[in-house]
Amino acid sequence: MKKIPVGIEDFKEIINNNCYYIDKTKFIANILDDGSKVKLFI
């Protein structure tokens, strides 16, 4: 069963430890291109 990679930032370690990886590249582009003047991250 795959694990959730809490605290793991290294891609190779995520893959080698059979963890989930979610590519959020398009999500980041949507945030930056949405036209708002202020970005708030919680």
Would you state the pLDDT for residue 11? 95
Would you state the pLDDT for residue 29? 86
Who contacts 8 (Cβ-Cβ below 8 Å, separation ≥6)? 14, 17, 19
Identify the residue with better confidence: 15 or 31: 15
Confidence of residue 6 (pLDDT cuts 50, 70, 90): very high
Q: Beta partners for 3? A: 19
Structurally, the chain folds into a number of domains equal to 1
Domain extent, residue 26, equals 1-42
Identify the residue with better confidence: 21 or 28: 21
pLDDT digits (tens, 9 = 90+) for 22-34: 988 888 888 888 8
Would you state the pLDDT for residue 27? 85
The position carrying tokens 């999500």 is 27
